[in-house]
């Protein structure tokens, strides 16, 4: 059970650190340069973790086997980073920005999951989605 929840716990902890840090970047700092520095730290952290992560593939074999999706993850991550940094700079609250983005992305991913990945939605899933959309409307109100 522990290994099932560990990735989500890592994601939640990373998300907390991420949003707290994004909101704390000084407004006088160039946002793109700040994100470049953040990515240098991220690459360094990944290099350190790669030493301890047991993988049967080398970096070069991973590069050879990668496809367009790796580029998509990179572009998507950069868009998320810049988007949140700019959202916080124009006054979005840390307590609202992340949930607004998460719900909006989740709702937009539903047709992708159902059509492309052949995922199924239960009645409970549809009810939960409807509540999320209602929550998005309520949270987005000023």
12-20 mean pLDDT = 92
Do 111 and 66 lie in one domain? The reply is: no
Q: Which of 92, 111, 132 is the last residue of a domain?
A: 92
Do 20 and 83 lie in one domain? The reply is: yes
Q: Which of 92, 111, 131 is the last residue of a domain?
A: 92
Position 81 in a domain: yes
Do 101 and 85 lie in one domain? The reply is: no
- Residue 117: domain span: 93-142
What total of structural domains would you count in the chain?
A: 2
Do 22 and 82 lie in one domain? The reply is: yes
Do 24 and 87 lie in one domain? The reply is: yes
User: Distance (Å, rounded) from C-alpha 40 to C-alpha 44?
Assistant: 6
Q: What is the pLDDT of residues 53-102, one digit of tens each?
A: 877 888 899 999 999 999 999 999 999 999 999 999 999 999 899 988 98
- Give yes or no for residue 2 having a pLDDT over 70: no
Do 19 and 78 lie in one domain? The reply is: yes
Do 24 and 80 lie in one domain? The reply is: yes
Q: pTM value?
A: 0.83
Position 7 in a domain: no
Residue 95, both tokens: 């307590």
Q: Where are the alpha helices (DSSP H) in the chain?
A: 2-24, 31-52, 59-65, 68-89, 94-115, 123-140
Residue 102, both tokens: 């998460």
- Give yes or no for residue 1 having a pLDDT over 80: no
Position 4 in a domain: no
Is 19:94 a contact under the CB 8 Å cutoff?
Answer: yes
pLDDT band at 141 (very low <50, low <70, confident <90, very high): confident
């Amino acid at each position: 059970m522990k290994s099932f929840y560990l990735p989500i716990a890592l994601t939640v902890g990373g998300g907390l650190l991420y949003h707290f840090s994004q909101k704390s970047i000084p407004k006088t700092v160039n946002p793109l340069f700040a994100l470049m520095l953040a990515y240098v730290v991220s690459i360094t952290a990944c290099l350190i973790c790669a030493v301890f992560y047991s993988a049967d593939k080398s970096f070069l074999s991973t590069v050879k086997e990668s496809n367009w999706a790796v580029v998509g993850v990179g572009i998507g991550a950069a868009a998320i980073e810049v988007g949140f940094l700019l959202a916080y700079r124009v006054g979005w609250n840390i307590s609202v920005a992340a949930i607004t983005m998460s719900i909006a992305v989740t709702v937009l991913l539903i047709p992708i999951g159902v059509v492309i990945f052949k995922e199924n939605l239960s009645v409970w899933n549809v009810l939960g989605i409807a509540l999320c959309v209602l929550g998005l409307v309520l949270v987005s109100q000023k």
